[in-house]
Amino acid sequence: MGVQKLSDGRYRIFIDAGRDASGKRIRHTFVIRGSRKEAEQKERELLRAKDTGTYVDPRAGTVGEFMERWLQSASSKVAERTWIRYEQMVRGQIIPALGHLRLGDLRPLHVEAAEAEWLRSGSRRTKEPGPLSPQSVVHLHRCLHTAMERAVKWRLIAINPVDGVELPHVPEREAAVLEPRHATRLIEGLRGTEYEVPILVGLFCGLRPAEYLALRWRDVDLDRAELHVVQSVHRIRNDRTTVHMGQEISGFRFGPTKTHRSRRPLAIPAELVARLRTSKALQSSMRLKRGEAWTDLDLVFTDAVGRPHAIQRVEGAFTAALRQAGLPAMRLYDLRHTMATLMLYQGEQLKLVAARLGHANETMVLRRYGHLLPGMDREAAERLGRLLAPEEAQLAHEGDEKPGG
């Protein structure tokens, strides 16, 4: 540590930053233009930062350079699907908007401006087709916050600049659901199509697409009309391979369900059991025909060689079936909401619906689906009115309910 005078009114400040992993001494150098008094003041500030733990590496580089380093570090710490999403956000949005800034210069104002631009017009540098949704900007906000937390731990910056930025407001989206008559029309529209049975499992059982596309025959008991949800499958890049059940498979990764409570047994209606039996017989015939070309993963729903169905193809078939039935567009995932809503509409217990959905308790079911139930609020209000009515009115009501009254 110390101050060294240079020419032209400049001073060099040396800061001892400890030693690296090999034991080599680390020294950081700062050049200050001004008087010796100003240089000594800067030295005291740097020493104070070093003593209080807020000192950061002056060679941190730009936001873009750091984000690339962070991506490389995160690749071995998060799930493949999560890393792919990080990569898309970092290289598609964050670096184009903020990558030119020095990491140490990044401020909440810069983050707020970037998020406002994403909401307003997307990213002009990457030619995004229009504004991003508030939910997409929330994902970008959280990704950047996570990265900056790592920058703090690496002592590249003193504080996380994203901490000073409020999350964008995300309007609550009302789940799209099918009424009973519309669900019947959808079933008819799916009859005989390639993806009929997996889509019906989503409708009748409320499984997530990632769950029913990973369903195995060993997890299905057709005699007892029951299935068990134990795993999920997600699409990954075609150049990445994983090993599942002793088979090397590219483009897909199998893993556990979303939460431990998502591992659950589910009863299957008789109509669906019959279709699964037919599907199993057809698959056995196809498997014999393909011979060694068949990838044996024991999956209930497969393509022509035993690999998992790509969810994009299932979504396309679902959209076509909706159009064929004259129904409004909705997400494949919304069949899960449809099952829950129809069961509640029929008066099924909240606890049972929560169990079929794999939720921890009934609270989430009420919060997410309660407002969709026709007449629920009116019936509750009438029951409360009868409870709190004057005694004479209650007696009259009880008399009306007696046989012959």
Q: What is the pLDDT of residues 125-155, one digit of tens each?
A: 555 467 898 999 999 999 999 999 999 888 7
Domain boundaries, the chain: 2-52, 63-164, 180-361
User: Given this model, what pLDDT does residue 112 score?
Assistant: 96
The SS3 assignment for 204 reads helix
User: Given this model, what pLDDT does residue 28 score?
Assistant: 78
- Taking residue 360's Cβ as centre, other Cβ atoms within 10 Å add up to 11
Are the C-beta atoms of 116 and 132 separated by less than 8 Å? no
User: Given this model, what pLDDT does residue 405 score?
Assistant: 45
User: Given this model, what pLDDT does residue 371 score?
Assistant: 61
Q: What is the pLDDT of residues 330-360, one digit of tens each?
A: 999 999 989 988 888 777 888 888 888 888 7
Are the C-beta atoms of 155 and 56 separated by less than 8 Å? yes
CATH of 63-164, one of 3.40.50.300, 2.40.30.10, 1.10.150.130, 1.10.1060.10: 1.10.150.130
Residues 87-91 have a mean pLDDT of 93
Copy the structure tokens of residue 93: 């949005």
Q: Mean pLDDT in the chain?
A: 84
Q: What is the pLDDT of residues 363-375, one digit of tens each?
A: 777 777 766 555 5
pLDDT band at 329; cut points 50, 70, 90: very high
Q: What is the pLDDT of residues 52-68, one digit of tens each?
A: 656 666 667 899 999 99
Q: How do 25-33 and 2-5 pair as beta strands?
A: unpaired
Residues 92-108 have a mean pLDDT of 92
Candidate ranges 7-21, 31-45, 125-139, 241-255; pick with highest mean pLDDT = 31-45
Distance (Å, whole) CA 154 – CA 205: 47
Burial 94-129 (b: 16+ CB within 10 A, else e): bbbbbbeeebbebeeebbbebbebbeeebbeeeebe
* Least trusted range by pLDDT, from 191-195, 261-265, 394-398: 394-398
Q: What is the pLDDT of residues 202-233, one digit of tens each?
A: 999 999 999 999 999 999 999 999 999 989 88
Please provide the distance, in angstroms rounded to a whole number, between the alpha carbons at the two ends of the chain: 99
63-164 and 180-361 have identical folds:
no
Residues sharing a CB contact under 8 Å with residue 390, sequence separation 6 or more, in sequence order: none
CATH of domain 180-361: 1.10.443.10
Can you give the pTM of this predicted structure?
0.65
* Least trusted range by pLDDT, from 27-41, 117-131, 311-325: 117-131
Residues sharing a CB contact under 8 Å with residue 5, sequence separation 6 or more, in sequence order: 11, 36
